[in-house]
Structure 1
Amino acid sequence: MAVRLGGYARISLDKDGQELGVDRQRSDYRQVAGVRPGWIAARDYIDNDISAFKRNVVRPEFEKLLVDLQTGVLDGVIAYDLDRLARQPRDLERLIDVFEDRPELVFCTVTNDIDLSTSDGRTMARVMVAFANKASADTGRRVARKHRELADAGKNAGGFPPFGWKDDRVTVDPAQAELITQAHDALLAGTRLSTITAEWQKLGIRTSRNTGKPITRVALKGILTNPRLAGFRTVKGQKHIGEDGKPVMGVWEPICTPDKLDAVVAVLADVNSRYKTNNLSNNHKYLLSGILRCAECGTRMIANMRSSWKEGSKGSRFTYRCPAAKDGGCGKVSRAGEPLDEHIIALIHDAETRLKAPTPGPVEWPGAVRLIEVEESISDLISAMNSGTLKARTVIAMLEPLEKERDELEYERNRHAVEQIKTSAATVELSEEFERLPIERQRAVIAKHIKAIVVNPAGRGARKFNPDLLEVVWAAY
């Protein structure tokens, strides 16, 4: 009778994603199974690039293996070594529980044989996993200490090269840096992160890990808000603070300025905050939604696709309308969407002299001097604590109000920077660029120069678009 075994292979780090390590393990345990009479490696359970030591990591294939052993799908397990299966005692105990419930199960490794169905075998396995766990913990401490030294010196650690830099993690990759710069500019000008994500996906942009999957919104946000872009050394995604209480600067070439990075972070934080608190996404599909107002009741008009419209048919695909009474409007005013959009775009083009009025220069943020003073005070206190001049308890008590003030000042500075950058970024060469902008950028340009467009009723039976029924409320310059 055949003995159906589940083969398990695992490797903690596979930088290139080629699975060479787990392939070698699979080849070895299949060779061992092949020389045992009746043994068959019926199914492979592969956890590639997954740690068995980190307590918060779930190994999907290991979990499936336990279930299949418990339910009788398998007659045993074979692996290259015990430490491939378990480096945490609790994982070993879960495996032992299965073998105690089903003592007929077979257990085999390439490097040595341990019988988990016997007391001696379980004891030996526990000792081996305990030593392997200690070895991992010791290695982790040494690696953490080394990473701390590298971070304090502003040097790179291991891992994949971050997006924006070449393999040496010091030299900027021009193509990737240009993508980041363009994305920053677009965000500050009002483009949604989801729009930029779609553009990167269309271009086939991948992360440094190059998993082969399209880049996600979360991954793109991580790239665009990485403190490393402004030259800061990071630890677990946060700025690393040195013994002098100041952020440590890295040895690599920066891609943007700290002020610009802060502005980008502030924009994304503001968008997320508004989305969560107001359940708003600002995801407008139509150019003039919310800008148009009904002349009868003053309500903002919305857009709807016409259900009767078909590809190739005449007439507008969508209409702008005042919401019905149950939705807060009067429902009395509507207008064909496409001719109205075309009219407003033409109106903006014709009014270039008005839109190109001189833009005021940058306004200096009044809190700049105070922020420098607060940051220097924080740095002095941390230095005093590290040198032993002041006790930690005293320093912490003094730091709390200073850190609160610093955070408030930084928020004000970032919001000021966002407004300054948005003011300059919203200026475009309308005759050449407007039609190529994403919808949110087009809306931002219109909203900068037009406060509202009041739409008067067209009258019963009127079908032809009449621009005289529109009242454009221009913004003051």
Structure 2
Amino acid sequence: MIHRGSATLRSGTRTDQGRAATVTKRIGGYARISLDKDGDELGVDRQREDYTYYAAARVGWEIVRDYIDNDVSAYKKNVTRPEFERLLIDLKSGALDGVVAYDLDRLMRQPMDLERLIGIFEDNPKLVFGTVTQDYDLSTTDGRTMARVMVTMANKASADASRRIARKHRELADAGKNGGSHRAFGWNDDRVTVKQDEAELILKAHDDLLAGTRLSTITRSWQALGVKTARESVKPISRTAVKAILTNWRLCGYRAVKGEIHYGKDGNPVIAEWASITTPERVSAVREVLAERSEKFRNEGNTNGYRYLLTGVVRCAECGTRMVPKRRSDYIPGSKRSAFSYACPTKSEGGCGKVSRQGEALDSWITTLVHDAQAALLAAPHAEMPETFPGEARLAEIEAEKAEYLEARRSNKITASTLIALLEPLEKEQEQLKRDRNWFVVEKARAQDTVNLSDDFERLPIERQKAVIMKHVKAVIVHPVGKGARKFNPELLEIVWA
């Protein structure tokens, strides 16, 4: 494996008489490969071996640090190469006296990156530079000119290859065929038939997400099960990878490009060649839920919301402010005292600071009330949710109307401006109906999420417990207890049922 040390701040050696001997040049070695499918770093290891031999043949050159960007593109402008950036910083600060790489295109494929490096060499002409394949002297005008020509050619080669690959992927997408060479999570190696055990994980995760479970909780459960990505990464599966799996449009049999549905010439989603795992409505609902949670977190940033059962539900009767959970710093595990309380914020925090209540006692009481309410609800006759979204017929009508207007435009019966004027209100209505359908799927899943509170409740993750509570309770109003009163009194609680 590759050793990445720290740059040594030794500038040279001297004889006992103080006369200068061979000056040691502190060299940074750089290696990069754009694609490492197996993650074994063999490509960058080979580059490192070659430039190490090259540096050893140069008098006084000593590689003091390896800068390795494995599985990272140098062509894509939106990609940051962490080790390349570190290399530039160390060269500029004087921690290095030069750099060596296998080839110039390992260092750079964008002219702007070359100019950044040239700027550093112009500021310090004593810096040295070398590549295994060719020699470029960035301290001279001729050397810099040749480097610019070579990087420009490498950039053009990358652009041409990118254009050809993009066109090929477009053709595959239009035909609904697989792109790439690896299977996707949920499918077998033939990339067409469903891998049953992974599909079951996906479907359960969808159910849990729609019922209120957080993505982080699902990620931890997959990690505990030893679930790996389709490429069998040695690292534990990440939250980002789980999210990408659960929101992939290919799950419902749609062909996607860069994470978005690919539409055919007829304006409809391209149906792929592989078997589907779930429905488009289900995937759309999962994406809607995750987007809403991300937006809520950005706006509120409340990390306590998933640590305590009644966060956001309990309110102060004196000022109406939401009460916040506060853990007692003097709590001793096993003691009879409460570990935390729900308290009204102080005046400086927007509340009155006059009301608080024992956390465990309040949680327990509300859970019991919800248990009784749910049992009564299940026993009583109630209207079932419809099997299909009530707006489905209108969505079909909109599609038919849009097709009719498009045909009229193709036949020159209406102008382009008239077409746009007709389509815009339809598309707006269609978008709203699709969002309504997403939340219909979510509410239907939550309505079917029946939990036996006496048996299952404690085993649920905290966010699912909150979802169960909030299905029945809109707010809990907490009244002051009065002076000297410490015993928990349920009569001082006012429940606002959902």
What band does the TM-score fall into relative to the shorter chain? 0.7 to 0.9
Secondary structure, aligned partner of 1:7: strand
Cα gap change, 1:386 to 1:6, in 2 (>3 Å): farther
The correspondence of residues 10-21 of structure 1 with structure 2, limited to 5 A, is 10-21=32-43
Shift of 1:225: 1.8
The correspondence of residues 456-475 of structure 1 with structure 2, limited to 5 A, is 464-465=487-488
Shift of 1:92: 2.6
Secondary structure, aligned partner of 1:149: helix
The aligned amino acid for 2:427 is E
The aligned amino acid for 1:446 is I
Q: Which is further off, 300-309 or 176-185?
A: 300-309
Structure 2 Cα separation of the partners of residues 100 and 465 of structure 1: 75
Cα gap change, 1:73 to 1:316, in 2 (>3 Å): closer
Q: Which is further off, 455-464 or 95-104?
A: 455-464
Of the three residues 141, 159, 169, the one matched with 2:163 is: 141
Shift of 1:281: 6.4
Structure 1 Cα separation of the partners of residues 84 and 35 of structure 2: 17
Tell me what 2:385 maps to: 362
Q: Which is further off, 441-450 or 201-210?
A: 201-210
Cα gap change, 1:331 to 1:395, in 2 (>3 Å): closer
Cα gap change, 1:290 to 1:253, in 2 (>3 Å): same
Structure 2 Cα separation of the partners of residues 452 and 61 of structure 1: 52
Structure 2 Cα separation of the partners of residues 237 and 336 of structure 1: 47
2:195 is aligned with 1:173: yes
Kept in 2: contact 1:355–1:449 (CA 8 A)? no
- Percent identity between matched residues is 60
Cα gap change, 1:54 to 1:464, in 2 (>3 Å): closer
Shift of 1:278: 5.6
Shift of 1:206: 4.6
Deviations 1:29-83 (A, max 9, x none): 2122223343333332222111122223232322333343344433333222222
Secondary structure, aligned partner of 2:305: coil
Tell me what 1:309 maps to: 331
Kept in 2: contact 1:6–1:42 (CA 8 A)? yes
2:461 is aligned with 1:443: no
Secondary structure, aligned partner of 1:46: strand
Secondary structure, aligned partner of 1:430: coil
Cα gap change, 1:219 to 1:392, in 2 (>3 Å): farther
User: What are the ranges of 5 or more consecutive residues in structure 2 without an aligned counterpart?
Assistant: 1-21
Cα gap change, 1:80 to 1:377, in 2 (>3 Å): farther
Of the three residues 403, 411, 419, the one matched with 2:435 is: 411
Q: Give the alignment's Cα RMSD to 1 decimal.
A: 3.6
Deviations 1:249-294 (A, max 9, x none): 2222222211111222222233334444566668153334555566
Shift of 1:299: 6.4
Tell me what 1:222 maps to: 244
Shift of 1:193: 3.1
Tell me what 1:83 maps to: 105
Q: Which is further off, 6-15 or 369-378?
A: 369-378
Structure 2 Cα separation of the partners of residues 6 and 452 of structure 1: 62
Shift of 1:356: 1.8
Kept in 1: contact 2:477–2:493 (CA 8 A)? yes
Tell me what 1:132 maps to: 154
Of the three residues 214, 233, 247, the one matched with 2:255 is: 233
Cα gap change, 1:381 to 1:119, in 2 (>3 Å): farther
Kept in 1: contact 2:304–2:311 (CA 8 A)? no
2:221 is aligned with 1:199: yes
The aligned amino acid for 2:431 is D
Secondary structure, aligned partner of 1:58: coil
Q: How many matched pairs? A: 474
Shift of 1:343: 4.1
Deviations 1:306-340 (A, max 9, x none): 34321121233233456667777776665433344
Shift of 1:385: 8.5
2:272 is aligned with 1:242: no
Q: Which is further off, 222-231 or 170-179?
A: 170-179
Tell me what 1:52 maps to: 74
Structure 2 Cα separation of the partners of residues 187 and 254 of structure 1: 19
Secondary structure, aligned partner of 1:443: helix
2:25 is aligned with 1:25: no
Cα gap change, 1:394 to 1:145, in 2 (>3 Å): farther
Shift of 1:242: 0.9
Kept in 2: contact 1:245–1:383 (CA 8 A)? no
Shift of 1:21: 0.6
Structure 2 Cα separation of the partners of residues 424 and 102 of structure 1: 70
